[in-house]
Chains A and B, each alone.
Chain A
């Protein structure tokens, strides 16, 4: 019957379309993470594993290359804890961080900033966060991105996924 044929045709079109959409979504998940809006950000397995074991693996573009170089040369005294790595692993991560670092030129005279939370960008982005949120024991530290950025683990810091703890 012509009616049946039309329906079958429609169904097939829907299935093909859905399949296509799913494979695009899959590719998206595999190759990129979103951060600060929908910009694609590079990832690296060693960076994710090592930097991500004590805190969220912070996106490389949040600090300039000079800062990452300084950070990676002092991992045994990393903000009060020993975060030392095998030289080969440290080297791989340092190269990844520097290649994908923020492009803004830092002040050549000042010492490179090591805390992302001290950058002008971070302070501006977070200026509407009330003090009581920072002091909330569920937040505790500005390094605890995931306290409010619910999908920070997957590199998603978009506004719509922010939930400040009460």
Chain B
């Protein structure tokens, strides 16, 4: 009986999760799969690493800003635009479920922010590492 109850609760949780997602939404798992697919085409790819992602996130890469300059050292927190001080909602998908749901947005912000931080596009390895790191936050 209790097993049936647990199953029922689980089913309800999953259904309510589905209900709040916009129609064409993707999950961070789909983004991860996409980054892995792209990363595999470059030689030497093994897997994504949260530790590398964290280091990448918190370091500067030749320019003035790092990812953390705006998103803070703890992406579970709200950040602040380094120039305008506008509040930026938390980046960690487990804390802010709006993150990594809209492919257009994800692509737009990676393009802009990688240009600002690295003066180039990020590689699929870097994107995968960062997302892997972000998914360790708020667990």
The interface of chain A, by Cβ under 8 A from chain B, is: 53-56, 76, 79-86, 138-141, 143-144, 146-147
Contacts and interface: CB of A to CB of B under 8 A. Distances in A.
Interface of B, helix, strand, loop or mixed by DSSP = helix
Interface residues of B, number: 12
Contact of B83 (A79, A84, A146, A147): A79
Interface string B98-115: 000000100010011101
State the 4 A-B residue pairs at the shortest beta-carbon distance, nearest first. Answer: A82-B115, A82-B112, A55-B84, A143-B84
B85 interface: yes
Nearest to B80: A140
A69 B81 CA distance: 25
Contact of B116 (A81, A144, A146): A81
A135 to B, nearest CB: 13
Given A54-B81, A55-B81, A86-B104, A81 B86 contact: no
Contacts, number: 41
A147 B115 contact: no
Interface of B: 81, 83-86, 104, 108, 111-113, 115-116
Contacts of A143: 83-84
Given A82-B112, A83-B112, A141-B84, 6 more contacts: A53-B86, A81-B112, A84-B108, A138-B85, A144-B84, A146-B86
A53 to B, nearest CB: 8
B85 A85 contact: no
B5 to A, nearest CB: 43
A86 B116 contact: no
B111 A147 contact: no
16 contacts: A54-B83, A54-B86, A55-B81, A55-B86, A56-B86, A80-B83, A82-B111, A82-B113, A83-B112, A84-B108, A85-B108, A86-B104, A139-B85, A140-B84, A141-B85, A144-B84
Contacts of A140: 84-85
Contacts of A55: 81, 84, 86
Given A55-B84, A144-B85, A84 B111 contact: yes
A86 B111 contact: no
Contacts of B115: 76, 82
B108 A144 contact: no
Nearest to B81: A54
Contacts of A147: 85
Contacts of B111: 82, 84
